[in-house]
Amino acid sequence: MSAALQNQTIDDYANSMFRFERLHPAWITRCAHYLRHVFGTALEGATVIDYAFGRGNWSLAFLEAGAAKVIAVDAAESNVLRFSGYVRAHGIQGIEVIQGNVLEKSIGRKADILWLYGILPCIADEAQFLSHMTQLWCDESTGLGLLYAYNAGSLREVVVGLARQALVYDSYAAFQEESLLFSHHARMRVRDDLTAPRALFHSQAAMESLLREAGAEPVAFVQSFTQFENTENPEFAPHHLLFKSKGNVFQSANASKQDTKLPQDEQWIGQLGQAVLKTATHEHAKNFVIGLMNTHFSALALGGYEAALMQDFLFLLYACKTLDVAAGGELMQLAEDALQNKPSRAVPQALAGSKLAQTLSAHPIRI
């Protein structure tokens, strides 16, 4: 892909994500509280590079949290124009907004803290990207950073992975043309998950390995922003890895999170979805994705993780029935019994940890 085409793709994605976004002071303050929780006194007087700043909320939050200067960098021209206009309009001092892409050329700036929040899932050459970023520390004895990544093994990975097999919008205009097909909560996610050039998910071990290859030292997996605000759920719990330059003696008191294998119910959702996509025509596959995204994200917003899990399964069960997709196993037998309103029976030992099996064994269902 040529540089011009790549930049257009990046800008399309930025417009899809941020065109209607507005910054709010109360939100910035919440972000600042989180930054002080993560970095503590290391923030005071620091210079920060906020790479791929998007809306600009974290750049503003760093200033409020005690940083002396923030260098806000984004490859998308539309993001740069929006945020630089905001900074000028509000007379904000201490933020330098520049357009740049470290994979193309150096941004010519150095900092004490690197904030890499939300960009890693979109990067194809992760190792090269992180290697370039870790060259931007002012001093090897004081360098700090935070790396954010989507968590491999989550229900979000299963749903988004299924959807991207059949539907990825190659431009903002293409998404906008079909955006009214999606419910509010689904549209908010589709504009990101299905318009991004890629959506990569990482294990904690993979993140640590990538940073070490780039010459940095992982410190700890700290609380995510949503964990800090007590709003996180198992559907999507992104990893936040605090890291440092090898000469830095900084330590964190935050406990690490632990990786978990793909849970049993997520495996079922993935297997059923793959069976549907394997059977469906191109048009059916696209309609399936639209229905799945509407189902999942509406249920998630209104009922949380367990509601989304159950509604995803019911949608997949309906898709299997209507498209004549063969799907067997003990969970599907429980579903058949629940459809016929048969008396509940014990959950098979093989499904003892399944929330889906527990619900199907105890309640009739309709699809």
Span 131-165, pLDDT tens digits = 999 999 999 999 999 999 999 999 999 999 999 99
DSSP secondary structure, 260-286, as one string: -PPPHHHHHHHHHHHHHHHHS-HHHHH
Tens digits of residue pLDDT in 241-253: 999 999 888 887 6
99 vs 182: CA distance, rounded Å: 32
143 vs 167: CA distance, rounded Å: 40
* Pair 185, 127: CB distance under 8 Å: no
Buried b (16+ CB within 10 A) or exposed e, 336-349: ebbeeeeeeeebee
* Pair 67, 93: CB distance under 8 Å: no
pLDDT of 1 higher than 60: no
116 vs 6: CA distance, rounded Å: 20
Q: How confident is the model at residue 328 (pLDDT cuts 50, 70, 90)?
A: confident
Q: What is the pLDDT of residue 253?
A: 60
Residue 255 burial by Cβ neighbours in a 10 Å radius (0-12, 13-18, 19+)? exposed
Tens digits of residue pLDDT in 206-222: 999 999 999 999 999 99
Q: How confident is the model at residue 256 (pLDDT cuts 50, 70, 90)?
A: low
pLDDT of 255 higher than 60: no
Q: How confident is the model at residue 235 (pLDDT cuts 50, 70, 90)?
A: very high
Q: What is the pLDDT of residue 2?
A: 53
Tens digits of residue pLDDT in 262-302: 578 999 999 999 999 999 999 999 999 999 999 999 999 99
Q: Are strands 239-245 and 144-151 parallel, antiparallel or unpaired?
A: antiparallel
* Distant-in-sequence, close-in-space partners of 213: CB < 8 Å, separation ≥ 6: 127, 130, 131
Residue 82, beta-bridge partner list: none
* Pair 296, 186: CB distance under 8 Å: yes
Q: Is the dihedral of CA 267, 271, 272, 273 positive or negative?
A: positive
Q: What is the pLDDT of residue 187?
A: 95
* Pair 352, 337: CB distance under 8 Å: no
Counted residue by residue, the chain has a size of 367
Q: Is the dihedral of CA 240, 242, 246, 252 positive or negative?
A: negative
Q: Which domains does the chain have, with CATH numbers?
A: 3-153+203-245 (3.40.50.150), 264-362 (no CATH)
What share of the chain has pLDDT > 70, as a percent?
95
